[in-house]
Amino acid sequence: MASQAPNNNALPLLYNALEPINQQQHGDKRLVAIDSAPHIASAHAIPVTVDEFSLLQRTYPIVFSVGENPVPLALMGLNEGVNTFLDEKGMLTEPVYLPAYLRRYPFLLAQLSEGSDELSLCVDPTSGVIGDGPDGDPIFDGAQPSEKVKAILEFCEQFEAAGQRTAAFMAELVKSGLLMDGEVAIQPDGSDQPFVYRGFQMIDEEKLREMRGDELRKMNQNGMLPLLFAHLFSLAQIRDIFGRQVAQGKGPIPQPQAQPQLADA
């Protein structure tokens, strides 16, 4: 599956290190369940794929990161370090849809050598998912990956394909000029001034309404339009997330102009 470690200098969100899964290193090891991932509990903006928009919009606001290469993000909290859906161990507190990015952790497909198109299954060795004891599922069955590892590989391949569709969508979205700097003001009862959230991008509804018919027809035909509306509908969840923070005692510091810095993928 892989023979050398990928470059750990630029790791994705949540990953502390990466090592390729291979028989020499993992042939006699097992996969054990992770019962604690506290660093996940402090992630409030999770990268998501366009395949998930229809499910995400019911629970989370979907926004876009700032910068030259924006990515879609699901907000599980509005302030840095606050996640209103995970407990301190990083486990869901209620039965809601969990973004695939979190379900993929601690595995991912990585390019092991520069210039190669081949991707290999890797794992974050700091996650605790690799065990030496008798518990858990074997990583290898003889010289071949076990059925459990094959299932993980298939999920990661599906995620990678969804990521490519998401990159194509984002390229078209940036080209369309519909993205604008986002701003949401929330004024709780009893507060003299609103809390203002910035640091993200959103669709400019006015520009969307003013688009020519042929442009809208093209967006409808290539599947972009439903995704844009899913994003716009999801923004109504921002106030719900704020309310969850307050109810959980994780509300923002009582001063206006709260400006969370959303994470990049």
pLDDT the model gives residue 44: 96
Asked if 90 and 40 touch (Cβ cutoff 8 Å), the reply is: yes
pLDDT the model gives residue 253: 55
pLDDT the model gives residue 256: 43
Taking CB atoms within 8 Å and a gap of at least 24, the contacts of 165-169 are: 165/49, 165/50, 165/51, 166/48, 166/49, 166/50, 166/51, 166/71, 166/72, 169/50, 169/224, 169/227
**Residue whose C-alpha is closest to residue 54's, from 178, 261, 260, 229:** 229
pLDDT the model gives residue 3: 36
How far apart CA 76 and CA 42 sit, in angstroms, is 10
pLDDT the model gives residue 8: 52
141 contacts: CB under 8 Å, gap ≥ 6: 147
- The amino acid occupying position 6 is P
Asked if 124 and 18 touch (Cβ cutoff 8 Å), the reply is: yes
pLDDT the model gives residue 35: 85
Q: What string of pLDDT tens digits covers the 265 residues of the chain?
A: 333 444 555 899 999 999 999 999 998 999 999 888 999 999 999 999 999 999 999 999 999 999 989 999 999 999 999 999 999 999 999 999 999 999 999 999 998 777 677 899 999 999 999 998 888 999 999 889 999 999 999 999 999 999 999 999 999 999 999 999 999 999 887 777 888 999 999 999 999 999 999 999 999 999 999 999 999 999 999 999 999 999 999 877 554 444 444 544 4
H or E stretch including 120? strand 119-123
- The amino acid occupying position 195 is F
